Structure 1
């Protein structure tokens, strides 16, 4: 989550005409990798619970699964959508340079796309809506949730289907890029092909499928593979390579997010097995941040703008203190907003959600 906040602090500062590190290629990549990690973790958790439900109870109740996802995702999602489309555009404090005036254009179609949980489609068809730019990943998540339980329930070979889905989406995404590059001219470059190319680039359900493969390895206790993945050497290599690539702003040729997903999968697998992990995240405050992480993700854009406004009132715009204060206020306000959302908006729905839980998840 912190990676995404850093990315958006720098991006928002650039949009507001303030000094930023947005020109450094490592910064925009931080946000993208933060979302990829989120996808891998989501695929890992959801797959583990679905597999356990099928193996322990003999079947997956689709209605209960979808209802749990609705109760977890929709309440805060729709609050943020309403704020972004209908409230913030009319408040001077939240005015976003160059973007707020565009919100009213095609408002009806935007409203319909966001209402039907298609923010990733809206992202490709229309200019970004301030405070909703992060919602595209929620659309990808929800579309993954439609497909995944069916595959898990009816599949006889989980691994084969995981690989087929992950590999299929990756191949289609790479083909779309290859066939629309100006150097090849194999397909015409127009609005349709450009939409397909960009939509598939962000439609990273293969990253969630990769997370699911690691969940399968853990649940089935494939000791041969686990002994390798949980070894200190492999963990140290995964942590070192991941951190080095992030810091240097480098990408892995030809399979960037898929390769990062594998690295993230190794880390998530070991963090889930506390007795093998070389890094421990078992702390009360980290556990709490994990519980409010959805609110942190959905509401941090509001906090970043609050940080910019507060910093501009207290220090000179061009000073390093302005930059630092923006970030600190953004982090603190993000946590406050997420905590308020969790306790007063999300918790009542989460309480209902527990009634439909067939397999209890861990903390």
Structure 2
């Protein structure tokens, strides 16, 4: 008897979203631990950007698991499919991107535009996801939002990938062809001064779907494997812990790579790119396979109701953990620290301030941003998601539909 209907929602994989977002958070603020850890540990923590790869493999798995056997190359199917994707991704991305550019109006933070002449034009490039094709604009606005351009490219191409895989059985050739298209674009545009549009191979392999498609295809392959199995969760194997350990072996390998001149991480070394884009996704797939087939302590932790809530709100956390909201918190922490020491001077006390340590301020920010994420999820993201799905946007809402997710 097929177990597929029961797997339309997988609590442990929702918990994994929180894990992935927190790994990315650590990678961005690993500098705060400089005084407390050896250099090798700092380098290791700095490569926790691998949370993005976890997101990509997970997206490949979930989209294939939900749609591979049901997709149709019809207008109604595509309209329902894109309606679901818009409901899931777009409302919070649009609102938070708008907030970032409103913040720029007051702060004139150069990171928001990176020298681009028209903030309004750049805003429209953000909300249409095209800024992710330009190296010089990649970290503007919501810097980490570049990954959504990669996700959207996958969402758009996934049904065609499924069609080709079913009709022509050329599944394994697809990521090779897609990557070669990326290589060709770099060869064409690397000498064209157009804001870094496919301007170099590092950018193509690290920040575009053409370079990172293998991660999604690993997730798709995992879905094709598990959809044929009865997943009772009673398997007596070791895939969960093996995959989890291999994920951090890959992180360690990347952390050992020489950092190219002008870069900040071993990820930019060719060996780092290969490990991140091709070895790491396989380790993540093993980890996911274990979560689907085994019952372990780690699975129970990731399925915990509170961790599940953190996973549901992790998309917002990912979008706000870096940028104007964190900068505002950091500015206030510094102000409160100065105010407290002024107060100590008046009292004639030589006490410590709760805001004098960078690493502790990062912990405060982590807690506050999670709280904000949960509130935004409950008050805005979840209601908007349900509203769009039940609206007549793109296609008339039907009470029962075969398109889920």
Of 358, 365, 376, the residue aligned with 1:323 is 358
Of stretches 232-241 and 140-149 in structure 1, the one that deviates more from structure 2 is 232-241
The answer to whether the 8 A contact 1:75-1:346 is kept is yes
**Alignment length (residue pairs):** 336
The answer to whether the 8 A contact 2:190-2:199 is kept is no
Quote the residue 2:153 is aligned against: 143
Cα distance in structure 2, aligned partners of 1:255 and 1:304: 32
The answer to whether the 8 A contact 1:77-1:298 is kept is yes
Greater gyration radius: 2
The answer to whether the 8 A contact 2:87-2:389 is kept is no
| RMSD, matched Cα | 4.0
Quote the residue 2:317 is aligned against: 296
Quote the residue 2:402 is aligned against: 358
The alpha-carbon distance between structure 1 residues 104 and 243, as it changes in their structure 2 partners (threshold 3 A), is: closer
Quote the residue 2:44 is aligned against: 26
In structure 2, the residue corresponding to 1:79 is in which secondary structure?
helix
Cα distance in structure 2, aligned partners of 1:127 and 1:241: 30
Alignment deviations for residues 31-54 of structure 1 (CA, whole Å, 9 cap, x no partner): 2x1111111111111110002434
Deviation at 1:216, TM superposition (A): 0.8
The answer to whether the 8 A contact 2:71-2:159 is kept is no
Deviation at 1:268, TM superposition (A): 1.6
Cα distance in structure 2, aligned partners of 1:60 and 1:210: 28
The alpha-carbon distance between structure 1 residues 285 and 240, as it changes in their structure 2 partners (threshold 3 A), is: same
Say if 2:348 is the partner of 1:338: no
Quote the residue 2:11 is aligned against: none
Cα distance in structure 2, aligned partners of 1:285 and 1:101: 37
Of 48, 57, 61, the residue aligned with 2:77 is 61
Cα distance in structure 1, aligned partners of 2:114 and 2:307: 38
Deviation at 1:263, TM superposition (A): 0.7
TM-score of the two chains, using structure 1 as the length reference:
0.77
The answer to whether the 8 A contact 1:37-1:264 is kept is yes
In structure 2, the residue corresponding to 1:91 is in which secondary structure?
helix
Matches within 5 A, 1:175-186: none
Cα distance in structure 1, aligned partners of 2:160 and 2:138: 34
The alpha-carbon distance between structure 1 residues 241 and 250, as it changes in their structure 2 partners (threshold 3 A), is: farther
The answer to whether the 8 A contact 1:60-1:153 is kept is no
Deviation at 1:342, TM superposition (A): 1.2
The alpha-carbon distance between structure 1 residues 305 and 325, as it changes in their structure 2 partners (threshold 3 A), is: farther
In structure 2, the residue corresponding to 1:220 is in which secondary structure?
coil
Quote the residue 2:216 is aligned against: 208
Quote the residue 1:183 is aligned against: none
